Amino acid sequence: MRVALALPSPLGDEHAAQALRHGHEVVARATGAADAEPLIAALRPDALVVASDPRYLSARVLAACDDSGVRLVAVASSDADRALAASLGLVETVDASSGWSSVELALGGAPRPAPVGAPLGHGTVITVWGPGGAPGRTTIAIGVAAELAALGRGVVLADVDTHGASIAPALGMLDESPGFAAACRLAGTDALSHAELARLAQEYRSPLGGFRVLTGIGRPSRWPELSGERVAKVIALCRTWAEVTVVDVGSSLENDEEISSDLFAPRRNAAAVTAVREADIVIAVGSADPVGMSRFLRAHADLLEVSSAREVVVVMNRVRATAIGMNPRAQVEQTLSRFGGVESPVLVPHDQAALDGAVLAGRTLADSAPRSAARLAIRSLVAERLTLRHVDPQ
């Protein structure tokens, strides 16, 4: 890869040496933002590694990279550096203390549209729902986000489950300060912006393509922070921040709380109901066993009453002969068709060893077990069943 550097010494010297060791060609070393801009236009390197410092990084440098199709990786040494990168809409920001290895990981990822940057017209919202009983909603949500990112989409994954948020621990992330709850608080005061979303979201890095994560509440008692109005505002802003927003929600879509005499009281299921109503696509997840399918068929009718999505894609998870008998695929398809009128469900094979390994490593299935049957089924779901809008910057 042809790489240009715009870094102060001695960091620039260290990174230049490491870049050469990793087989890259260092085509130029800029001494500042004014120097970097003409170099980009003249040399058109594959990537620019730049210090996230006003002396080196500016909106003009970013525009020059966009005009020339040059990938930009910012190196941050402080909170001020990270704030500068976020204000410019940069997602690929690495920590200076981690050395060239983090830069190499960023350069090795598939080029993709950044979820933060020029405002998008109208991104796609995909809500992943399933009935109670742990059918694997979070597994499917993480898998869908990972596969979309691997296809070059700019993705944000939001955990809106008010009963048992689990995306953060599944991906090995800290959840002391839940990003989605913080976004809701800011939305409640009309203070939420793209820059704030970038600050609150954690980044999952992958050579296949990373994505941003708004983690969920660690304690179910915090559910009042996720009111329906706030959730709707956050999702609406995510549409203009990310090409695709994948939302993981809780199971209950009941509105029984509405019989309360206090019409303004918060409702625990409002977050899930709102996320389903705001979705362009709903992925309805069920467990492929007698109990799981019974739960799914009862709850699926409630989902259709709430959702106005243009697509509802049914996914039956953990398909295995030991739970449902011989020829499990045919058994599942016939049961759903006969009792629920559901045709052509997506079937995800049971692969417990691969899932256990992914959770243990805090990685996606695509990263930890790329040949897993479950991973391949989710990849097919994303490639063949999800119809996404084509989004152009405004």
User: Could you read off the pLDDT of 58-70 as tens digits, one per residue?
Assistant: 989 988 887 787 8
User: Beta strands 202-204 and 211-214: pairing type?
Assistant: antiparallel
User: Does residue 240 sit in the same domain as residue 358?
Assistant: yes
Whether 113 is in a domain gets the answer no
Residue 96's pLDDT is: 87
User: Does residue 75 sit in the same domain as residue 168?
Assistant: no
Query: Domain boundary at 76, 108, 140, which?
Result: 108
Whether 118 is in a domain gets the answer no
Q: Which domain holds residue 329?
A: 124-385
User: Does residue 32 sit in the same domain as residue 162?
Assistant: no
Q: Which residues contact 132 (CB under 8 A, 6 or more apart)?
A: 251, 252, 295, 299
Pick the closest to residue 90 from 102, 100, 76, 78 (CA basis). 76
- Report yes or no: 225 and 217 within 8 Å, Cβ to Cβ: yes
Whether 381 is in a domain gets the answer yes
Q: What is the pLDDT of residues 223-237, one digit of tens each?
A: 899 999 999 999 999
Whether 207 is in a domain gets the answer yes
Quote the number of domains for the chain.
Answer: 2
Token code pair at residue 391: 């989004």
Whether 166 is in a domain gets the answer yes
User: Does residue 169 sit in the same domain as residue 26?
Assistant: no
For position 184, which CATH number holds? 3.40.50.300
For position 62, which CATH number holds? 3.40.50.2300
Whether 116 is in a domain gets the answer no
Pick the closest to residue 236 from 176, 293, 183, 312 (CA basis). 183
User: Does residue 131 sit in the same domain as residue 180?
Assistant: yes
User: Does residue 98 sit in the same domain as residue 179?
Assistant: no
Enter the pTM of the model.
0.71
Query: Domain boundary at 108, 133, 162, which?
Result: 108
Query: Domain boundary at 108, 136, 151, which?
Result: 108
Whether 97 is in a domain gets the answer yes
User: Does residue 129 sit in the same domain as residue 104?
Assistant: no
User: Does residue 95 sit in the same domain as residue 135?
Assistant: no
User: Does residue 155 sit in the same domain as residue 285?
Assistant: yes
Residue 120's pLDDT is: 55
Whether 114 is in a domain gets the answer no
Question: In the chain, at which residue ranges do the beta strands (DSSP E only) sit?
Answer: 2-6, 25-29, 47-51, 71-76, 93-95, 124-129, 155-159, 202-204, 211-214, 244-248, 281-287, 311-319, 346-349
User: Does residue 136 sit in the same domain as residue 55?
Assistant: no
User: Does residue 142 sit in the same domain as residue 83?
Assistant: no
Phi, psi of 384 (to 5 degrees): -110, -20
User: Does residue 72 sit in the same domain as residue 136?
Assistant: no
Q: What is the DSSP letter of 361?
A: H
Those residues of the chain that have pLDDT short of 50 are: 110-119, 261-265, 393-394
Q: Let me know the angle formed at the C-alpha of 23 by 19 and 26, rounded to the nearest 5 degrees.
A: 50
Pick the closest to residue 368 from 193, 224, 172, 223 (CA basis). 172
In angstroms, the first-to-last Cα distance of the chain is: 31
Residue 390's pLDDT is: 53
**What's the half-sphere exposure (Cβ side, CA atoms, 13 Å) at 59?**
4
